[in-house]
């Protein structure tokens, strides 16, 4: 039987408490707070079926003993038969009533009350048998004590008071209502006391082990959830660049292959942008590696914000170079996004004294798009975008360039130090970055 789903929401404090109980032992059969309620539900779900079957078996045993009554006390057979049949019918009715929610939620108490009633009825049979000098029926009620304490899977705090009531009712009946010799009474008192004590101790030990098993399963499931979360985090970290928090080269390679195969299957184009930070070595030399790291983080953030579709992937390709995968995007869509990236990086207005003319941080972008075919491979797209990036660099940087070479989008011309510092955008239309 599985545990309640709430183990997934178990707090670290509760897990610590569970570990402490398992390490130091449980002193008493009671947990703190919500954990006790969880155990109650766990116990009910686990043993409800058994606690429906075993009472029915007990009813059969009661009916079976009518044969013994017929052989041993034939004069009382009709009376004992009525009592045993009434007990059996009562057990069947209680079992059927357990299908009702109200009874099911109070089923342990209902079974204990039913067991006490049956115990009293067995005492009544013993009293009738004692009246005709058949004293061995005094031990018959022992079966009810053993049955309710060890066969039924009831919790100790239900069993203990009812076991005491059974013992007390048996002792009082033997002392006041049956004519027993002193030796008989002493012998039966010892027997009933010993059986009740052993049965109660067995019930306590069984519940102790059940609670321990519950805690072990609960902790195991909690640790499995933690392990799965840790594995998921490790997997995420293994696919992420630790500095810029975008996909790393490994993730890029896997994603490009996946998207290539998907576009091949769907007969859709796939676009790729290669983005390189201009004069980055000079930037590092001028401002230091810490500022260089901050620069790469800013570029990665800008690329992520610009590539808005869920399917787009921004990755750090290596060093100061980034890549953007655009599934189901054609050349025109790739060009619009490439131009917007160049523009937005420029508008970040990050100072770069290493840039000989603009004196601010810029990027160059090479882009390409093609419809994958069986004869091509993802490296074809990388090679085309990389060639376009080389052309963008060669033509003066701070621009986007498409593949093939005659499909050029020179989004920003180099600006001399005498100019105002704004890029010369050939396409004056504003692009919203959507593909």
C-alpha span between 155 and 264 (Å, rounded): 63
Residue 209: CA count within 13 A, CB half-sphere: 6
Q: What is the pLDDT of residue 3?
A: 60
C-alpha span between 121 and 115 (Å, rounded): 10
Q: What is the pLDDT of residue 423?
A: 42
User: What CA–CA distances, in Å, run from 114 to 96, 258, 315, 430, 435?
Assistant: 13, 66, 70, 83, 73
Q: Quick one: the chain helix, strand, coil %, rounded to 5?
A: 65, 10, 25
For 409, the 3-state DSSP assignment is coil
What does residue 7 show for φ and ψ, rounded to 5 degrees? -60, -25
Q: What is the pLDDT of residue 405?
A: 54
Indicate yes or no: pTM above 0.85.
no
Q: What is the pLDDT of residue 426?
A: 34
Q: Please name the residue that has the structure tokens 């209502």.
A: 177
Q: Residue 405 CB: number of other CB atoms within 10 A? A: 11
What does residue 176 show for φ and ψ, rounded to 5 degrees? -105, -25
C-alpha span between 190 and 186 (Å, rounded): 6
Sequence-ordered list of residues with C-beta below 8 angstroms from that of 17, at least 6 positions apart, any chain:
32, 35
The per-residue pLDDT string of the chain (435 residues; one tens digit each, 9 = 90 and over) reads 456 544 446 788 889 999 999 999 888 889 988 999 999 999 999 999 999 999 999 999 988 999 989 999 999 999 999 999 999 999 999 999 999 999 998 999 999 999 999 999 999 999 999 888 888 888 888 988 999 999 999 999 999 999 999 999 999 999 998 888 899 999 999 999 999 999 999 999 999 999 999 999 999 999 999 999 999 888 888 899 999 999 999 999 999 999 999 999 999 999 999 999 999 999 999 999 999 999 999 999 999 999 888 899 999 999 999 999 999 999 999 999 999 999 999 999 999 988 888 899 999 999 999 999 877 889 999 999 999 999 999 999 999 999 985 444 444 443 332 333 344 333 333 333 333
């Amino acid at each position: 039987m599985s545990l309640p789903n709430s183990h997934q929401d178990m707090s670290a404090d509760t897990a610590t408490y569970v570990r402490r109980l398992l390490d130091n032992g449980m002193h008493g059969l009671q947990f703190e707070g919500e954990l006790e309620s969880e155990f109650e539900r766990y116990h009910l779900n686990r043993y409800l079926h058994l606690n429906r079957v075993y009472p029915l078996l007990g009813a059969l045993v009661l009916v079976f003993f009518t044969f013994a009554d017929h052989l041993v006390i034939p004069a009382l057979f009709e009376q004992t038969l009525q009592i045993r049949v009434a007990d059996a019918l009562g057990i069947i009715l209680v079992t059927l009533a357990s299908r009702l929610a109200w009874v099911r939620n109070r089923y342990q108490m209902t079974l204990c009350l039913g067991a006490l009633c049956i115990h009293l009825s067995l005492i009544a049979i013993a009293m009738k048998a004692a009246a005709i000098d058949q004293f061995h029926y005094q031990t018959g009620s022992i079966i009810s004590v053993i049955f309710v304490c060890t066969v039924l899977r009831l919790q100790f705090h239900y069993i203990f008071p009812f076991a005491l009531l059974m013992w007390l009712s048996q002792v009082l009946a033997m002392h006041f209502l049956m004519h027993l010799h002193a030796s008989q009474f002493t012998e039966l008192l010892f027997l009933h006391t010993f059986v009740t004590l052993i049965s109660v101790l067995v019930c306590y030990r069984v519940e102790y082990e059940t609670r321990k098993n519950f805690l072990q399963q609960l902790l195991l499931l909690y640790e499995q959830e933690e392990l799965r979360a840790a594995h998921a985090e490790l997997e995420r970290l293994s696919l992420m660049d630790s500095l810029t928090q975008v996909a790393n080269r490994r993730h890029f390679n896997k994603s490009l292959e996946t998207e290539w195969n998907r576009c091949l299957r769907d007969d859709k184009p796939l676009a790729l942008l290669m983005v390189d930070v201009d004069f980055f070595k000079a930037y590092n030399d001028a401002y230091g590696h810490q500022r260089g790291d901050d620069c790469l983080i800013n570029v990665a953030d800008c690329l992520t914000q610009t590539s808005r579709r869920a399917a787009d992937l921004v990755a750090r390709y290596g060093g100061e170079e980034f890549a953007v995968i655009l599934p189901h995007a054609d050349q025109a869509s790739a060009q619009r996004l490439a131009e917007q990236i160049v523009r937005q990086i420029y508008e970040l207005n990050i100072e770069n004294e290493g840039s000989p003319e603009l004196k601010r941080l810029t990027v160059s972008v090479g882009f390409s798009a093609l419809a994958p075919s069986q004869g091509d491979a993802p490296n074809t797209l990388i090679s085309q975008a990389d060639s376009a990036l080389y052309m963008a660099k060669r033509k003066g940087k701070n621009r986007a360039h498409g593949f093939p070479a005659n499909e050029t989008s020179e989004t920003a011309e180099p600006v001399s130090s005498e100019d105002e510092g704004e890029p010369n955008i050939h396409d004056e239309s504003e692009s919203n970055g959507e593909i």
